[in-house]
A and B are shown apart, each in its own frame.
Chain A
């Protein structure tokens, strides 16, 4: 295998080619589909290139798949309901899955009165991120969640929901209490000084939470792909060695299989962690006093 500029095989170029965004859909060695370049949009002084890239396509694909998966489940559940029996098979499994996310992740952490209102967000986080993660493990697939822009955007959404939800629930005075905490047992001037002194830490913690969400998801997905691609790279790097290449190739393929299985687990785990932590943060904010 040669690198694209015709030089010798370059493993880091291969890795970045596969994990990075691109203006084409890569189905090598069969074909590639070029994606259109759109004129950048000017918003004030900001120049935004909204051209659909590889990750945009996979984002939309993930959204469509998530919708179809849940829609099929809901059709199956509705049919089972009409026939007066419990849903079976795929619908039953998905119903259990959806209810688990709704009850044990959203409502258990946010609380009974407002949990139902935030449950759709948490459920969408979970299923959308799960599908995004799994898409990266498919042949010719890519994980949009392995891109910091995507996880950052999702984390910003979570941040907005956490903070705005808190403001709506607590009111202005209550919300300011989450920035200037009231220290138990400290009144008067000393309490005020401590509140103001702690405010930077409180503000920092508000921002650290979504940043941690974004970096954790992005880092886990990207690192998984790096590991798999690096191991695959071994095959190409040693492909020119006589005799030994068969052994190297076999061992590498076995290791990659194991890592793939691990990545499948990580795909579930990271979707779970992102959705669960969003629910926990929303719940923490709702119950702040």
Chain B
């Protein structure tokens, strides 16, 4: 490994001694200066005439993309805000609807309750009146019956004893008697 390398270096030295150019290991100042000149010239030309074109395209495209991204972000934020607003509105509407329904239900309930109460009082009134009427009718019927019975009794008794009883005095008698019976019965 080392021997070929030594041979190479020896050859290089021979070449220099023979008036040739040095091997690649030995830098010459001339080539250094040439490299600087060529490289710096290339750098200046490229930086002035080529890179701005290539990079400007990219910069422009980047700017466009960034702008579009910002626009998209803004639109998204807007959409989100709109959605939020819609949601809030919907919630408010729902609450309102529920309130309305609840109110209606309450009103209906109240209405029903009051109707029932009214009906009940009416029924009770009718019932009471009917009872009253029945009672009055009963009383009247009883009195009627009693009067009929007294008249019949007097007529019968008159026939039986063959004489005309004094209507008023006898009536009192019979009525006393009948009430006795009534109280016994």
Q: Which residues of B, 31-56, contact A by the 8 Å Cβ criterion?
A: 31-36, 38-43, 45-47, 49-51, 53-55
Partner pick for B50 among A16, A74, A153, A218, CB 8 A cutoff: A74
Contact with B along A121-136 (1 / 0, CB 8 A): 1011000100000000
A16 touches B11 (CB 8 A): yes
Partner pick for B30 among A48, A119, A156, CB 8 A cutoff: A48
Bound CA span A146–B24, Å: 7
| List of B residues within 8 angstroms of A222 by Cβ | 24
| List of A residues within 8 angstroms of B21 by Cβ | 20-23, 53
Q: How large is the interface on B (under 10, 10 to 19, 20 to 34, 35 or more residues)?
A: 35 or more
Bound CA span A98–B7, Å: 43
| List of A residues within 8 angstroms of B43 by Cβ | 120-121, 124
Q: Is A46 on the interface with B (CB-CB < 8 A)?
A: yes
Contact with A along B47-74 (1 / 0, CB 8 A): 1011101110110100000000000000
Q: Is B182 on the interface with A (CB-CB < 8 A)?
A: no
Q: Is A15 on the interface with B (CB-CB < 8 A)?
A: yes
Q: Is A56 on the interface with B (CB-CB < 8 A)?
A: yes
Q: Is A157 on the interface with B (CB-CB < 8 A)?
A: yes
Bound CA span A73–B36, Å: 25
The answer to whether residues A16 and B12 also contact, given A59-B35, A77-B57 and a CB cut-off of 8 A, is yes
Name the segment of A64-72, A239-247, A261-269, A277-285 touching the other chain: A64-72
Q: Is B27 on the interface with A (CB-CB < 8 A)?
A: yes
- Can you show 7 pairs from A to B with CB atoms below 8 A apart? A46-B29, A59-B39, A71-B49, A73-B54, A120-B43, A146-B24, A153-B36
**B residues whose Cβ falls under 8 Å from a Cβ of A:** 4, 7-8, 11-12, 15, 20-36, 38-43, 45-47, 49-51, 53-55, 57-58, 60
A63 touches B42 (CB 8 A): yes
Q: Which residues of A, 126-155, contact B by the 8 Å Cβ criterion?
A: 128, 144, 146-150, 152-154
Q: Is A250 on the interface with B (CB-CB < 8 A)?
A: no
A149 touches B31 (CB 8 A): yes
B50 touches A150 (CB 8 A): no
